[in-house]
Amino acid sequence: MAFLVFLHLPKFDEEVSCEYRNLPKPVKISVCIAIHGRDLLDPVQDRKNEAYRWLLQSSPFKTVWYTLAEDIMVNSFMDLGISRYKDTFKKKVKPGKTYLLPLINAAFNDELFLSIANHTFTVVEADASNGVYTTDFPNNPLVPFNYTGTPPSNTLVSNDTKVVQLLFITSVELVMQDTSILGAESHPLHLHGFNFFVVGQGFGKFDYKKDPAKFNLVDPVERNTVGVPSDGCVAIRFLADNPGG
């Protein structure tokens, strides 16, 4: 549902003049669901806030290929999507005209199949993961040790392509720890597709029980690249609001 709100935000912004929480009637976000303005996500409740303006400008509808699209098809859960499983859609088309149709599969565990009767189509861009990576990247180190001390002889490192799959608009905290394996060194790390807030930074092994109490949650610096100090650690937080980023 959060994705649908994000998708329709520019339309809401044009049609609604008051704060969404003050709307007397629910707003329609798909053909099958409406939601009260007061129940929308917190970042959109204050339309003068910079976070709201950023979400508005980051909406897929603001990108070039969405503005050129004739329609958008979203495959989601049975009761929440713009479109639903096992549906047949009709659209009037003109002979000889080229149509751009973005397809969004928002159902995490199901594939989306599409066919167009009596027509062929060309895939101009795709973002797919089938057979490329797995989604079982561990949330914590599999073999904890004294990262800034003498490393163990075997850290059970493996060669895999794994990712952490996040729900849309998830608040994420990531702690990056430098280790003494092959020698301690300062290393810059970049997060593609996002800016993040550096809430903590220091030397030594990160202490999950004590260090979070020292986080700067008032005015943390915003970056997209940060240096992890030699024999040290960095804690960052970001909002997962850029699908595919």
Q: Looking at residue 39, what is its pLDDT? A: 81
Residue 45 CA, distance from chain mean position: 20
- Residue 110 inside a domain? The answer is no
Q: Looking at residue 139, what is its pLDDT? A: 87
- Residue 120 inside a domain? The answer is no
101/188 same-domain check: no
Cβ–Cβ under 8 Å, residues 198 and 209? no
The parent domain of residue 147 ranges over 131-245
What predicted TM-score, i.e. pTM, was given to this entire model? 0.50
94/165 same-domain check: no
Residue 146 CA, distance from chain mean position: 32
Is the backbone of residue 231 left (phi > 0), alpha (psi -120 to 50) or beta?
left
pLDDT, one tens digit per residue, over 73-121 is 665 443 334 444 445 566 677 887 777 776 766 555 556 666 777 777 7
17/92 same-domain check: yes
Distances (CA, A) of 112 to 54, 89, 129, 185: 30, 14, 13, 45
142/243 same-domain check: yes
Q: Looking at residue 56, what is its pLDDT? A: 75
- Residue 119 inside a domain? The answer is no
Question: How many structural domains comprise the chain?
Answer: 2
DSSP state of 21: G
Mean pLDDT along residues 37-59: 77
pLDDT, one tens digit per residue, over 25-34 is 887 765 556 7
Domain boundary among 59, 89, 105: 105
- Residue 125 inside a domain? The answer is no
- Residue 28 inside a domain? The answer is yes
97/174 same-domain check: no
DSSP state of 98: -
74/153 same-domain check: no
- Residue 44 inside a domain? The answer is yes
- Residue 113 inside a domain? The answer is no
